[in-house]
Chain A
Amino acid sequence: MPEGASESSLFSASPEPALNGGRCRACGYVFFPPQWYGCESCGAPAEQLEPKSLRGEGTLASFATVHLYQGKDIEAPFTVGVIVLDDGPAIRAILAQRTDEGLRIGDRMRAVVVAVDGEGGRANELRFAKQETVR
């Protein structure tokens, strides 16, 4: 299994890139990544958990450019961001830009699907980009 977000179980590419999260029917807790074991917030069992699509938009809460990485699936430097999604959860994602140039906490971010060449061939990953640079 590749390290990046190339699994379609984690996101949908169209019509707009969106994250496949989950929601607890018992307490309303919204979460990402998806899991179907039981609610971390209230303990409700799997039957109470339902898929919830989370819009790929949010606000940048922090970022760090990784200089030291020994894996083969991405080349350092690359930049990781914490994004608080408009739909609730704070998530960590690889950013579309390699370095932190021009990034500021509070920037509006949007999910983008990026085709990446890896060991298993070309695969799609979900990354995040500053909104004004997307379109």
Chain B
Amino acid sequence: MKKTLREMRPVYVVGIGLHRYQRLSETPYVALGLTAVREALRDAGIEWRSVESAYTGTALIGMAAGRPMLRHLGATGIAMAQVENASASGSTAVRQACLDVASGLTDVSLAVGVDKPAPLALASAKTNIRDLVGRRVVPFTHFALLANEYMNRYGATAEQVASVAVKNNRNGANNPYAQRQRAVTLEEVLAGSPISGALTRLQCCPIGEGAAAVIVASDDAITKLGITRSRAVRVTASVSRSERVYHGAKNFDAELTRETVAQAYDEARISPDDLDVVELHDAFTIEELLYVEAMGLCGEGEGARMITSGEADIGGRCAISASGGLLAMGHPIGPTGVGQVAEITRQLRGEAGVRQQPDARVGLAHMVGVGAVCVVHVLQKDA
């Protein structure tokens, strides 16, 4: 019989660690990744030898990135694999680690995301299927087209779309791991270099380097290794889906998110009203408006109002992108989805400091990968 994650053995996030997201530097990826993993081990209070499998989420470094990094923690002979799923690589690494523990294959598993900017080599360019635009349409124009359609449909203004960047940069300014740590004004966002359509520079996420690590464990491991149970956060849903054919001119990004999140709510047995914190794929400002609607956090066409009303601020009804999101924390690809789970964990533990969403108990992490794929996790305190 099929089972959901929640019906399997309980899985808990017990350790989180990051290397700051930053512009490309001379630092080898090995050093970035080790910083995040060692911080996660310290956070969990466990030794590397307790970790039984390791998934490295990475899209740009190259074949077999895991062991050249992880061997420096002591070569214990554990199962290792790299996970590539475009922007959702890190989220998928988290999912694989959770599945190992949930199934009983392991008691402790690691997901680490690490990447450094490098030229893209998209497989879709090798299908011999060509269209009328080719590389003239890159992600920022894909989302500029969605922004234009959204603004026309709902009468949303350029100011409302840009206000997402103001909120997320305000949050990022208080996140020591964020690539952009400076609050910006609406005027500054709007006056930035035009990129495509209504999108200006600060409405597009920075792609830099960095690393993030999450250690997941079973109840047995928490007991046996003496991990602090009160800081463990349960993963109650892990859902991964891909795009279908959506007939007509439907917005397939929103549809894919709607389907994936609906399944995650169902598996975790929660509703959107239960969410206190959400980290979503805000690579471009317009995406946050599309996804809060697709997630049912507000009605269709109400995304702009939700963001500008303060409901999505830290301290509001549901804090969206409290880390700064992809727009401010950054989007180094492999680390991004892992970093989202780290932020949700920090929030649900009540350890997010000035970024703390009060009384946060339920959180959701959402990533979209080009192609398109969508990966969603639900985390709950005391579940």
User: Which A residues lie at the B interface, using CB under 8 A?
Assistant: 1-5, 7, 9-11, 29, 32-35, 37, 40-41, 61-69, 71, 73-74, 78, 80, 82, 84, 90-94, 105, 126
Can you name 21 A-B pairs with beta carbons within 8 Å?
A: A10-B131, A11-B132, A29-B245, A35-B129, A37-B129, A40-B245, A63-B145, A64-B145, A64-B198, A65-B197, A66-B137, A66-B144, A66-B196, A67-B193, A67-B194, A68-B196, A80-B141, A82-B149, A92-B145, A94-B133, A126-B132
Question: CB-defined interface of B122-137 with A at 8 Å, one 1/0 digit per residue?
Answer: 0000010111111111
State whether B136 touches A78 (Cβ < 8 A). yes
Closest 4 CB pairs of A and B: A64-B197, A64-B144, A3-B134, A62-B149
Within 8 A of A (CB), among B191-225: 193-198
Which residues of the other chain, A, contact B198 by a CB distance below 8 angstroms? 64
Q: Tell me whether B227 is interfacial, beta carbon within 8 Å.
A: no
**A64-B197, A66-B136, A67-B196 given; A33·B129 CB < 8 A:** yes
Which residues of the other chain, A, contact B135 by a CB distance below 8 angstroms? 3, 71
Which residues of the other chain, A, contact B149 by a CB distance below 8 angstroms? 61-62, 82, 105
State whether A33 touches B131 (Cβ < 8 A). yes
Question: CB-defined interface of B323-356 with A at 8 Å, one 1/0 digit per residue?
Answer: 0000000000000000000000000000000000
The prevalent SS among residues of A at the interface is loop
Q: Tell me whether B148 is interfacial, beta carbon within 8 Å.
A: yes
State whether B136 touches A71 (Cβ < 8 A). yes
Q: How far is the CA of A62 from the CA of B194 in the complex (A)?
A: 18
User: Which B residues lie at the A interface, using CB under 8 A?
Assistant: 127, 129-137, 140-141, 144-149, 152, 193-198, 245, 248-249
Q: How far is the CA of A35 from the CA of B141 in the complex (A)?
A: 24
Q: Can you name 18 extra interface pairs (CB under 8 A) apart from A3-B133, A63-B145, A93-B132?
A: A3-B134, A3-B135, A7-B130, A9-B130, A33-B130, A33-B131, A35-B129, A41-B245, A61-B249, A64-B148, A68-B193, A69-B136, A80-B145, A82-B149, A91-B131, A94-B133, A105-B152, A126-B132
Which residues of the other chain, B, contact A69 by a CB distance below 8 angstroms? 136
Q: How far is the CA of A69 from the CA of B134 in the complex (A)?
A: 12
Which residues of the other chain, A, contact B196 by a CB distance below 8 angstroms? 64-68
Which residues of the other chain, A, contact B146 by a CB distance below 8 angstroms? 62
Q: How far is the CA of A7 from the CA of B343 in the complex (A)?
A: 48
Give the Cβ gap from B41 to chain A, nearest Cβ, in Å. 41
Give the Cβ gap from B374 to chain A, nearest Cβ, in Å. 18
A67 contacts which of B129, B130, B195, B245 (Cβ < 8 Å)? B195
**A61-B149, A64-B197 given; A82·B133 CB < 8 A:** no
Q: How far is the CA of A78 from the CA of B130 in the complex (A)?
A: 20
A4 contacts which of B127, B134, B245, B249 (Cβ < 8 Å)? B134
Q: How far is the CA of A2 from the CA of B136 in the complex (A)?
A: 11
Give the Cβ gap from B64 to chain A, nearest Cβ, in Å. 30
Select the residue from B136, B145, B147 with max chain A CB neighbours within 10 A: B136
State whether A68 touches B245 (Cβ < 8 A). no
Smallest CB gap from A29: residue in B: B245
Give the Cβ gap from B254 to chain A, nearest Cβ, in Å. 14
Q: How far is the CA of A3 from the CA of B133 in the complex (A)?
A: 7
Q: How far is the CA of A105 from the CA of B146 in the complex (A)?
A: 12
State whether A10 touches B197 (Cβ < 8 A). no
Q: How far is the CA of A108 from the CA of B141 in the complex (A)?
A: 22
Give the Cβ gap from B128 to chain A, nearest Cβ, in Å. 8
**A63-B145, A68-B195 given; A1·B130 CB < 8 A:** yes
